[in-house]
Amino acid sequence: MEVKTKKVNQTETVLQAENINIYYGDFQAVRGVSLNIPKQRVTAFIGPSGCGKSTILRSFNRLNDLVNGFRLEGKIYYQGQNLYDAKIDPVEVRRKIGMVFQKPNPFPKSIYDNIAYGARVNGIAKSKEEMDALVERSLRQAVLWDEVKDKLKQSGFSLSGGQQQRLCIARTVAINPDVVLMDEPCASLDPISTLSIEELINELKENYTIVIVTHNMQQASRVADMTAFFNAKAAEGGKRFGYLVEYDKTETIFQCPQEEDTQRYVSGRFG
């Protein structure tokens, strides 16, 4: 597969996938994917269901290690280091490369402790004052502070879905990651919460590198600087594998893509 990164600005690459194949047991889910994720930009992954978007995203913070039968060929570099090198500690990787899931998953703890827990485990805030400041800063970064500042002791579950998702984002940024991976973070949210998460993503990219999987074309065109379009096709034997069709600046993918499949997908004439 040809690597299409020629139009990427002169920005630093944070994550670099080099000709990766991903298998679950005998099944090849992803074939021949190469792409560079630029620093402090938002990169969107789009494409039909089953084309391997979540699989690739999870391989960026070694979350697939926990899946039976998972196997990766090729290389993924994070800040130039081979992410799958035996010397790399996957727990440390997941601290640097955080993940926000489709369904908000706050811990069964207070709003305060949802943030404080990870910070405590990672030794980020030492004193009560430092922790209070970190909780406030993280909740402000996730644009949630004003809504929860008077009820920090209440359960995270007492919040609305959109607030819970912002709490999960606050929890992720509290441990000071480099990269935030988001797998359809707005899939279970109403349009207003979706917009507030999108505004938040725009603010977060000042400090973080973001990769977001979305089925919402408007969302990709609103938030992403770069967009990767994936598709699936049948291999010998009929099983379908995912591959990268085209990767470019978002406006190019949406307005003048090079591949006909991309054009058909982004204009809703796919399938």
Ligand X SMILES: Nc1ncnc2c1ncn2[C@@H]1O[C@H](COP(=O)(O)OP(=O)(O)OP(=O)(O)O)[C@@H](O)[C@H]1O
CB of 245 to ligand X, least distance (A): 13
- Quick one: 31 or 95, whose CB is closer to ligand X? 31
Determine what percent of the chain falls in helix, strand and coil, rounding each to the nearest 5: 35, 30, 35
- Max Cα separation, the chain? 61
Q: Which residue, among 22, 112, 102, 35, has the nearest Cα to 69 in the 3D structure? A: 22
* Rounded Cα distance, 175 and 96, in Å: 8
Query: 93 in helix, strand or coil?
Result: helix
55 binds ligand X (CB under 6 A): yes
214 binds Mg ion (CB under 5 A): no
Using the rule CB under 6 A, which residue among 1, 67, 121, 235 binds ligand X? 67
54 binds Mg ion (CB under 5 A): yes
Q: Which stretch binds ligand X (CB under 6 A): 11-19, 43-51, 88-96, 259-267?
A: 43-51
CB of 182 to ligand X, least distance (A): 12
Long-range CB contacts (within 8 A, 24+) of 24-27: 24/67, 24/69, 24/70, 24/71, 25/68, 25/69, 27/239
Give whole-number Cα distances, 121 to 115, 116, 124, 143, 175, in Å.
11, 9, 8, 24, 10
CB of 116 to Mg ion, least distance (A): 30
Give whole-number Cα distances, 238 to 6, 30, 244, in Å.
33, 14, 19
Using the rule CB under 6 A, which residue among 31, 53, 166, 205 binds ligand X? 53
Q: Which stretch binds ligand X (CB under 6 A): 51-59, 75-83, 105-113, 189-197?
A: 51-59
Please report, as residue ranges, which positions from 223 to 262 form the binding site for ligand X (by CB under 6 A): 242
Q: Which residue, among 29, 82, 83, has the nearest Cα to 53 in the 3D structure? A: 29
Q: Which stretch binds Mg ion (CB under 5 A): 46-54, 126-134, 135-143, 236-244?
A: 46-54
270 binds, among Mg ion, ligand X, none (CB under 5 to 8 A by kind): none
107 binds ligand X (CB under 6 A): no
Task: Quote the tokens at residue 165.
Answer: 């998702």
23 binds ligand X (CB under 6 A): no
59 binds Mg ion (CB under 5 A): no
- Quick one: 27 or 270, whose CB is closer to ligand X? 27
* Rounded Cα distance, 178 and 196, in Å: 22
Q: Which residues would be at the binding site for Mg ion (CB under 5 A)?
A: 54
Binding residues for ligand X (CB under 6 A): 24, 27, 29, 49-55, 67, 242
